Structure 1
Amino acid sequence: MLKRLNKYISDTGFCSRREADKLIEQGRVLVNGKAPELGTKIGEDDIVSVDKKPVRAVPQNKSDRVYLAYHKPVGVICTTERKVKGNIVDAVNFKQRIFPIGRLDKPSEGLILLTNDGDIVNKILRAENAHEKQYRVNVNKPITPRFIKRMSSGVPILDTVTLPCKVTQIGKTSFDIVLTQGLNRQIRRMCEYLGFEVTKLVRKRIMHISLGSLKAGQYRELSAEELNKLNQAVQHSSKVASK
């Protein structure tokens, strides 16, 4: 069975499919020792290399796949580029090559999932799949009922209006928000539009997976139950963006 080159690379656990596209564009990928053509598909006998190092196909049963829950500290950057100081790969220092599913910006902390299973990444990331992410947010001044209503109804940022979401006040200057979108710095931009500044932002949950008692810098492997629920939840999710 033939696979598209970017999917083949991501399935090996080397990187996500999006990052594989970048590697191909940069000319760092070879197929059978030659630069691949656009749309190249890979068969069982083809040899694929990145930076002249071969990448191996994933076992059919994905027995070598890793799924981690990590409490990203403030200051860690969600990139696999090892030349970037504070990158998440060096911070986790895991024995196998892994990459993050999605992002948390540098000044934010909390739950992020890491894996070497490229097949599951795009399924989780697509906003139309309505996978929830919950955050605890602190702001620089007292929250008002008007603020809660406007945050939950949708806020104009980045040439669009955010989708309606669930917002619950927790304290005088703190609230929980549940999103199904992943716009760039979304919560910070929403608060800024309404005249508030985020002083602390912690992601507490992704879908059914919670941060729990993990301290900043700690990670754990997903339990069998969490992984089963994850696979069930994304079973019918689109792996590509809808048009």
Structure 2
Amino acid sequence: MLKRLNKYISDSGFCSRREADALIEKGSVQVNGKIPELGTKIGADDKVTVNGKLIKAVAQDKADRVYLAYNKPVGITCTTERKVQGNIIDAIGFPTRIFPIGRLDKPSEGLILLTSDGDIVNKILRAENAHEKLYRVVVNRVVTDDFISKMSSGVPILDTVTKPCTVRRAGKFGFDIILTQGLNRQIRRMCEYLGYEVTRLTRKRIMHIDLSGIKPGQYRHLTDAEMIEMNKALEGSTKTYQGNH
């Protein structure tokens, strides 16, 4: 069965599909010793290399894929660029190639998933798929009923209005918010629009996966039960893109 070249590379765990497209466009990829076009399809006997490194086909059952939950501390940058100081890949120090699913801002902390399975990245991130993410937020002013009401009903940022969402007070200066969107720095921008400044932002949950058992700076493999539930949740999900908080 033929497979698109970018999917073949991302399925192998080398990088995401978008990164694979960039590598193909740059001429870093060869198929059977020749530079291919975007959209090239690969068969079982084709030999694919990136910068001379052989890319092996993914195992049919994806048994060789890695799925991690990491409790990101403040100050770590969610990039695979190793030249960036404090990048998430060096921080985790995992022995094989992985990449983050989406991102958290450098000043934000909490749960981020990492994987070697390029196929699930956008299925989780795409807003239309409505996968929940729960954040605990602390701000610099007292959280009022008016603030809760406005945050939950939608705030105009980035030439759009945020989708209605669940917001609950958590102490005098804090609140919990559940988002299915992933606009760039969404929570910080929403708060800024309403005259508040975020002093601490922690992601506590993505879908059904939470921070239980992971101290800041630590990671754990997703459990079999979490993987079964994730695969079930992603069955009807489509693919395409993201933001950060």
Q: TM-score range by the shorter chain?
A: over 0.9
1:96 Cα deviation from its structure 2 partner? 1.3
How many angstroms apart in 2 are the aligned matches of 1:32 and 1:161? 49
2:99 is the alignment partner of 1:123: no
- Correspondence for 2:22: 22
- Correspondence for 1:81: 81
- Correspondence for 1:186: 186
- Correspondence for 2:10: 10
CA displacement 1:92-138 (0-9 Å, x = unmatched)? 10111111111111110000001111111121111100000000000
CA displacement 1:141-188 (0-9 Å, x = unmatched)? 111111000000000111111000000000110000000000000000
2:37 is the alignment partner of 1:31: no
Q: For 1:38, what is the secondary structure of its paired residue? A: coil
Letter of the aligned partner of 2:185 in structure 1? Answer: R
- Correspondence for 1:228: 228
**Contact 2:97/2:116 (CA < 8 Å) preserved in 1?**
yes
**Contact 2:125/2:240 (CA < 8 Å) preserved in 1?**
no
Letter of the aligned partner of 1:144 in structure 2? Answer: T
Q: For 1:147, what is the secondary structure of its paired residue? A: helix
TM-score by length of 1: 0.97
- Correspondence for 2:103: 103
CA displacement 1:184-231 (0-9 Å, x = unmatched)? 000000000000000000000000001123111000011110010000
- Correspondence for 1:207: 207
- Correspondence for 2:92: 92
Alignment RMSD, CA only? 1.0
How many angstroms apart in 2 are the aligned matches of 1:228 and 1:122? 18
**Is there any run of 5+ residues in structure 2 with no aligned partner, and where?**
none
- Correspondence for 1:134: 134
How many angstroms apart in 1 are the aligned matches of 2:39 and 2:222? 35
- Correspondence for 1:64: 64
2:47 is the alignment partner of 1:47: yes
Equivalent pairs counted in the alignment come to: 241
**Is there any run of 5+ residues in structure 1 with no aligned partner, and where?**
none
- Correspondence for 1:160: 160
Letter of the aligned partner of 2:125 in structure 1? Answer: L
2:173 is the alignment partner of 1:173: yes
Identity %: 72
**Contact 2:71/2:214 (CA < 8 Å) preserved in 1?**
yes
TM-score by length of 2: 0.96
1:38 Cα deviation from its structure 2 partner? 2.5
Structure 1 pair 184–240 and aligned structure 2 pair: CA distance change class (3 A): closer
How many angstroms apart in 1 are the aligned matches of 2:72 and 2:155? 27
Decide which moves more: 38-47 or 132-141. Answer: 38-47
